[in-house]
Amino acid sequence: MRWVKTAYNWLELRLQLEAPIKEAALHPVPRRTASWWYVFGSAAFTLLLLQIVTGILLAIVYAPTAGEAWNSLNVLNHQLELGWFLRAMHGWGSSFMVAVVIVHMMQVFLFGAYKFPRELTWILGVFLLLMTLAMAFTGQVLRFDQDAYWGLGIGASITSRIPIVGGPMVHMLLGGPIIAGATLSRFFALHVFVIPGAMLLFVALHVWMVLKLGVNEWPMPGRIVRRSTYLAEYNKMTHEDGVPFVPVAFWKDAVFSGAILAAVAVCAVVFGPFGPGGQPDPTIIQAVPRPDFFFLWIYAALAYLPPSMETPFILIAPIIGISVLLALPFYASEGEKSWHRRPVAVLMLTTIAVSWGVLTHLASFTPWSPHMDAWSGDPVPVRYLQHATPLVRQGAVVFQEKQCRNCHALDGSGGQRGPALDAVATRMTTDQLIRQVLQGGGNMPAYGKNLSPAEVNALVSFLETLHPANQQPAADASRREVESAQSSLGSAPAK
Amino acid sequence: MRLRNVLPAVGAFAALLIAGCNHMPGAPRAQELARPEDQLDFTALYKTNCQGCHGVNGKNGAAYDLSNPEFQALIDDENLKMIVTLGMPGCRMPAFSRQAGAMLTDEQIDALVKGMRQAWLKPAAFGNDKPPAYDDDQKGDTAHGQLLYGSHCASCHKDSPQQQVTSPDYLALMSDQALRTIIIAGRPDLGQPDWRNDKPGQPLSGQDVTDIVAYLGSLRNPASNAAAPAAPVR
C-alpha cells in the first residue's frame, strides 16, 4: 500500500485539495440541523448526478432528428439489453427530481432558510427550480412522440401570445414556422448543453454558498434574525453546540439519497419507461396528448379559465409568480424563522400545495375533448339491454351510431364532456328528452337536423329506460292531467 | 457490514436484473404501432370499431349478434365485406372504409372479415337443413305475410305496439335485408329462434320469409325517415 500513499502525496503536493475538502467536510453545523428535514437538497443533487449519467448513456443511442428520434427510442426499449431500464431510470429520475426540488423549496420556505444572509442562495435556487422544469419540458420534447409533438405545439402557441416578440420567439424556438427537424435539434442542444451547463454552474454556486454561509439552524420561536447580530450568533451556535458535517449530518443525507435512488430504480423496474407513445405525426388524428405530471396543473388551470382570461393568465401569472419568489428574501430577510410564528407563510404554502394537488388531480381525469372512439369501442352495458324492446334496442344503436357516447358515459365508460346518462330518465321527462336531443342546449349541439323522427323516437325510448330499478322515471304531472281529461272527454256519453 | 459482504449481494442483484430484465413488470411488451392504419390484428380492430354496437365477443350488443354461427354461415364473404365497407342502407350500420370517408383500409376490412370467420363461423351450422337464401329480390305477398306474422311471430312480439317490431319507428330503422337476416338466422343472444323454430315443426320457406318482410315493410311510414341523411350508395 506504500505506493498509494506515494501517489497521493505526489498529487496532493500539486493539487492542494486536502485542506479545503477537509474544511468543507468537517465544518460545524448546528446540532439540531443534523436532522432528517435537511436531506432534500443533497437528494436533489444526487438525482442531478443520476440524470447526467443516465443522460450521457442515452445520448449515445438517441438520434436527435425528427425522422429517427422515435425509432431510436423504440430500439432502446425493445432491442438493447436493459435499454428500457435506462430510459425508465432517466424518466423516473426526472419526475423524482422535480418532486424533490419542490419539496426542498417548500422546506426551505417553511424553515425561513431564505432569510439573511442566504438570500442569494434562495434566488439561485429559484432559477434552479425553473431550470429543472425546463429540463423536464425539453426532455419530454426529446421523447418525440404524440405527447411531445402536441406538448410542443401548446408550448409554441403559449409563446406566440406574447405581444410583439411572440412570433419571432416561436420561430427561434422551433427553428422555423413549424415543428420539424430543426426543432428537435434545438431542443436537444437546450436539453443536453445549454440548460445543464447553466444548471451545473448554478448548483456549484448554490452549494458553495451553503458551505460558506453554513446550514440554516433549526428555527426556534422567538429567535429573531437581525442583520447586525445574526452572523455572530450563528458563529457562536455552531462553535459552542455544533457537530461536524461529516459524519454526523452527512450519513442522513447519504441514506436518504440512497433511498431515493432505490425508489427511482423500483419505479423504473415496476412501471417501466415513459412511452414513447404514438408516432409524432400530425396526420394521425387518433391522438390524446397529455403533458407529464408536473405540467398537468397548467393544463387544468387553462382549461377552467374563461377564454378571455387565458392570455392575461399565461403572460402575467408566471411573471408575478417568479417575481414573488425572487422578491421574497428581500421582503422578509429579517425576523422570525419558526413556522409557529409565521401563520401567513404556513397558510400560503398550504393553499398553494392544495391548489396544485387539486388541479393536478382534475387534469388527470377531466375530459378535455370528446372521447372520439367511444361510440365504436365501448359497448352499451348488457344490463341496460336485457329486457329491452325492439325499439329500445334500436334506440341504443342510434345512441352509439350518432356518437352520443363520445360525450356521454354509460356505466363509467364513454366521454365526459356531457353528463353521464345512467339515470337520465329520473332527471328528464320524455318531452324534455326530446327537446334536448332536437335543440341541444347547455354545452350540447342540436341534433334535430341530423336525426329522423324515427331515430329520435327510438333514441328517447332508450333514454327513458335509463333509471335505477327502484326509482321511477321523471314524469310531467300536467301531462297526466291532460291525458286523463282527454280520455274522460273522449268517453263522455253523447247526448 | 464489510464491503466484501455487500459486493456479492449487489453483484447477484445486478445479475438477476440482467437475466430477468425482459420479465420485469416495467419492461415494455408490445412495440408501439407506427401508424393506426398498420393495425391488422382482428381483436384490436374489432374492439375499436365494432364492439360498441355489436357487443363484446360479437354478442349481447345493441346491434346484431355477429357471433351467431348461423348468421356467419348464411352470409358470404362478399356480402359481409360489402356491409363493413359501405355500411347497410336503411340501417344504422355505417360505412367503415376509406373510400366511404371512414378510417379503415381495405387490408383492415379483410382482416376483420377473416377474423369474424375464424372466430364465429362453425361448420355445419344448419345441420341437415337448407336455410332460405340470404337475399331475395322477389316481391312478397303482404296478406300472406300478415298471416304468417300472426302464427309465427306474434306469440313473442306481443307487448306495447309502439315498441314492437311492427312499430313504424322501428321499421324505419331496419332495412328489409336486416329483417330478413334476423328472421332466418335468429338472435341466439336474445333468445330469438331461427327460421326453423319460430313455430316448432313448421319451418318458414324462403317465400314465407319474403312475405313476412313484405308485410312488415307495408307498415313503414315514409314520413318517419324524412329527415334521415342520405344512405350511402351501394
Domains of chain B (ranges; CATH) run 36-120 (1.10.760.10), 142-224 (1.10.760.10)
**A398 and A350 in one domain?**
no
Q: How many domains does chain A have?
A: 2
* A79 touching B (Cβ < 8 Å): no
Considering the domain boundaries, does residue A486 fall inside one?
A: no
Considering the domain boundaries, does residue A22 fall inside one?
A: no
CB contact under 8 A, B172 and A391: no
* A210 touching B (Cβ < 8 Å): no
Q: What's the CATH code of the domain at A263?
A: 1.20.810.10
Q: Tell me what pLDDT residue A346 has.
A: 95
**A123 and A246 in one domain?**
yes
List, for residues A138-167, the tens digit of each pLDDT value: 999 998 888 888 888 888 988 898 889 999
A window 394-423, beta carbon within 8 A of B = 394, 396-401, 405
* B34 touching A (Cβ < 8 Å): yes
List, for residues A27-64, the tens digit of each pLDDT value: 888 888 878 899 999 999 999 999 999 999 999 999 98
User: What's CA A454's distance to the chain center, in Å?
Assistant: 47
Q: Which residues of chain B are within 8 Å of residue A279 when distances are taken between CB atoms?
A: 32, 34-35
Confirm if A460 and A395 have CB atoms less than 8 A apart: yes
**A170 and A66 in one domain?**
yes
Instruction: Among A340, A365, A390, give the residue marking a domain's end.
Output: A365
The DSSP element (H or E) to which A242 belongs, if any, is: strand A242-244
Q: Tell me what pLDDT residue B32 has.
A: 64
**A167 and A147 in one domain?**
yes
Q: B191: closest CA among B157, B167, B215?
A: B157
Average pLDDT, chain B: 86
Instruction: Among A300, A330, A365, give the residue marking a domain's end.
Output: A365
Q: In 10 A of CB A178, how many CB atoms?
A: 12
A window 265-324, beta carbon within 8 A of B = 268-273, 275-279, 281, 284, 286
Beta bridge partners of A29: A243
Q: Please tell me which residue of chain B has the smallest CA distance to A283.
A: B35
**Candidates A74, A449, A455; nearest CB to B31:** A74
Complex prediction ipTM:
0.86
Instruction: Among A302, A330, A365, give the residue marking a domain's end.
Output: A365
**Which one of B163, B190, B216 would you mutate to disrupt binding with A, by most A Cβ within 10 Å of its Cβ?**
B163
**A410 and A359 in one domain?**
no
Grid coordinates representing A203? 448548483
Q: Tell me what pLDDT residue A372 has.
A: 80
Considering the domain boundaries, does residue A6 fall inside one?
A: no
**Residue A383's domain spans which residues?**
374-477
> What is the band of B228 on the pLDDT scale with cuts at 50, 70, 90?
very low
B window 82-111, beta carbon within 8 A of A = 92-94
List, for residues A89-131, the tens digit of each pLDDT value: 999 999 999 999 999 999 999 999 999 999 999 999 999 999 9
Identity of residue A321:
G
**A141 and A167 in one domain?**
yes
Q: Tell me what pLDDT residue A493 has.
A: 47
Mean pLDDT of B208-212: 94
Q: How close is the nearest chain A Cα to the Cα of B118, in Å?
A: 21
Q: Tell me what pLDDT residue A279 has.
A: 81
> What is the band of A25 on the pLDDT scale with cuts at 50, 70, 90?
confident
The DSSP element (H or E) to which A29 belongs, if any, is: strand A28-30
**A169 and A102 in one domain?**
yes
Q: What are phi and psi of A29, to 5 degrees?
A: -120, 155
The sign of the torsion formed by the CA atoms of A478, A479, A484, A489 equals positive
List, for residues A243-277, the tens digit of each pLDDT value: 888 888 889 999 999 999 999 999 999 999 987 88
**A328 and A230 in one domain?**
yes
**Candidates A272, A286, A398; nearest CB to B36:** A286
In angstroms, rounded to a whole number, what is the distance separating the alpha carbons of residues A275 and A290?
12
- The answer to which of A139-153, A367-381, A440-454, B80-94 has the lowest mean pLDDT is A367-381
Q: What's the CATH code of the domain at A473?
A: 1.10.760.10
In angstroms, rounded to a whole number, what is the distance separating the alpha carbons of residues A6 and A3?
5
More confident residue, A246 or B234: A246
In angstroms, rounded to a whole number, what is the distance separating the alpha carbons of residues A65 and A142?
10
Considering the domain boundaries, does residue A146 fall inside one?
A: yes
**A378 and A343 in one domain?**
no
* A264 touching B (Cβ < 8 Å): no
**Candidates A85, A374, A453; nearest CB to B21:** A85
Q: Tell me what pLDDT residue B20 has.
A: 63
Confirm if A416 and A381 have CB atoms less than 8 A apart: no
**A227 and A78 in one domain?**
yes
In angstroms, rounded to a whole number, what is the distance separating the alpha carbons of residues B6 and B10?
6
Average pLDDT, chain A: 90
